[in-house]
C-alpha cells in the first residue's frame, strides 16, 4: 500500500517557513532562494487544496489549516530524525547543554543519565544548574528544565512549547529519630507543632495541606529555611524537623532509610517540571533524542523515582 504524501521537499519548506514566519529565512536555512521556497509551498497548497499561509507585507502567518497541519508535519520530521540518529548514530561527537534546578539535577535526573549515556554514547552532556545559569549565555543552551506552571515571560521568541514531564505531589518527610520523638502514631497536628523546615517559595504549602486535611492548627516555627529542596532534605536527614517536599525529590532518601514518612497526607502540586527547547536547538537530533528519552523514562512517572 502506497502512502499518499506530498513531496518531502515541499513539506520541509512548509515547516521551515512556519518556524521562521518568513519564506526568506526558510530559504536561508534550506540553502534555497526565497522564490523556490514560495514555489514549493504554493505547489503544496495546490496539492492539498487549501492555503497554508497568509501572505503579509512583512513575512507570512499560518492559516487555520496550516496551523492544524504543522504539528503532524513537525512530529513526522522529528520522528525520522530520532530514528535515523538512534539507529545509525550521530555524525561525530555532539554536546547537549541543559540548564536545570540543582535539586532536580541531583535527585531525579543524574541517577537516570547512565541509561541515556549507554544508549547514546556519542552525545556529550553539559549540565548547568540554575546556580550558575544566570551567567550562562542563553544562546548556548539547548534545553531548559524549569519548575512552575508552564508560563514564563522571559522565554525567547520561537522557543518550543513547554512540555510537562512530571505529575508531582508534596509529602512530609523527617528522620526516623524525629518521627520516633513524636510517638508511635504521629499526627499532622503533632508534626506542625514541632520544628518545620521551610523551602523558600513553598511556605504556603503547609497551610494548603492543613486546609485540605481539615486540620485546624498553626504551622510551627521554622527550624531553617532553604532556597533548595536538596539542602532542606539533608537538614531533615540530620535529625531535626519535618519538611514538605516533592515526592520525587524525597524518594532517594526514603529508599536509603535516611528519611521516613511519618504521616500519609500528601498535596497534589499545581505546578510541575517542564522541558523547554531553545529556539535554535528544537530540531537538533540530540535534543529530540534526549526529550524523547526523558519523557519515555518519566511517563508514566517511573517507579524508580
Residue 182 gets which letter from DSSP? T
Residue 260 gets which letter from DSSP? B
Residue 239's pLDDT band (cuts 50, 70, 90): confident
Q: Where along the chain do the CATH 3.40.190.10 domains lie?
A: 91-165+271-298, 169-268
User: Does residue 183 contact residue 190 with C-beta atoms inside 8 Å?
Assistant: yes
- Name the nearest CA neighbour of 298 among 268, 276, 274: 274
132-156 burial by CB neighbour count: b if 16+ within 10 A, else e? eeeeeeeeebbbbbbbeeeeeeebe
Q: Which CATH class is domain 169-268?
A: alpha beta
Q: What is the Cα–Cα distance from 27 to 38, expressed in whole angstroms?
A: 9
Mean pLDDT of the residues in the chain: 85
Residue 106 gets which letter from DSSP? I
Residue 139 gets which letter from DSSP? G
pLDDT digits over 154-169, tens only?
887 767 778 888 888 9
pTM for the structure as a whole: 0.69
pLDDT of residue 131: 58
Give the side-chain half-sphere CA count within 13 A for 164.
13
Q: What is the Cα–Cα distance from 141 to 279, expressed in whole angstroms?
A: 9
Supply the CATH classification number for the domain 91-165+271-298. Answer: 3.40.190.10
User: The domain at 8-86 falls in which architecture?
Assistant: Orthogonal Bundle (1.10)
Q: What is the Cα–Cα distance from 33 to 30, expressed in whole angstroms?
A: 9
pLDDT digits over 255-298, tens only?
999 999 999 999 998 889 999 988 778 778 888 889 889 988 88
Instruction: Kindly report whether the peptide bond that precedes residue 300 is cis, defined as omega within 30 degrees of 0.
Output: yes
Amino acid at each position: 500500500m502506497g502512502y499518499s504524501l506530498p513531496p518531502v521537499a515541499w513539506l520541509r519548506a512548509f515547516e521551515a517557513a512556519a518556524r521562521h514566519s518568513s519564506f526568506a529565512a526558510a530559504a536561508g536555512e534550506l540553502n534555497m532562494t526565497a522564490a523556490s521556497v514560495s514555489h514549493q509551498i504554493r505547489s503544496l497548497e495546490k496539492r492539498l487544496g487549501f492555503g497554508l499561509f497568509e501572505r503579509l507585507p512583512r513575512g507570512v502567518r499560518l492559516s487555520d489549516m496550516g496551523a492544524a497541519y504543522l504539528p503532524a508535519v513537525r512530529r513526522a520530521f522529528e520522528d525520522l530524525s530520532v530514528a535515523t540518529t538512534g539507529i545509525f548514530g550521530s555524525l561525530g561527537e555532539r554536546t547537549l547543554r541543559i540548564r536545570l534546578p540543582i535539586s532536580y539535577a541531583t535527585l531525579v535526573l543524574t541517577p537516570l543519565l547512565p541509561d541515556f549515556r549507554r544508549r547514546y554514547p556519542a552525545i556529550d552532556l553539559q549540565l548547568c544548574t540554575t546556580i550558575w545559569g544566570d551567567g550562562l549565555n542563553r544562546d548556548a543552551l539547548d534545553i531548559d528544565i524549569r519548575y512552575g506552571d508552564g508560563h514564563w515571560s522571559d522565554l525567547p521568541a520561537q522557543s518550543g512549547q513547554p512540555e510537562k514531564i512530571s505529575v508531582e505531589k508534596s509529602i512530609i518527610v523527617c528522620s526516623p529519630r524525629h518521627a520516633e520523638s513524636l510517638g508511635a502514631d504521629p499526627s499532622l497536628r503533632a508534626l506542625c507543632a514541632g520544628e518545620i523546615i521551610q523551602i523558600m517559595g513553598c511556605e504556603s504549602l503547609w497551610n494548603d495541606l492543613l486546609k485540605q486535611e481539615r486540620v485546624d492548627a498553626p504551622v510551627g516555627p521554622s527550624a531553617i529555611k532553604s532556597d533548595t529542596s536538596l539542602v532542606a532534605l539533608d537538614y531533615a536527614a540530620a535529625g531535626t524537623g519535618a519538611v514538605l517536599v516533592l515526592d520525587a525529590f524525597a524518594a532517594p532518601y526514603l529508599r536509603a532509610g535516611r528519611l521516613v514518612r511519618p504521616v500519609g497526607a500528601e498535596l497534589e502540586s499545581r505546578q510541575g517540571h517542564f522541558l523547554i527547547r531553545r529556539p535554535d536547538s528544537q530540531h537538533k537530533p540530540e535534543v529530540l533524542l534526549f526529550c524523547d528519552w526523558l519523557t519515555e523514562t518519566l511517563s508514566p512517572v517511573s517507579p524508580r523515582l
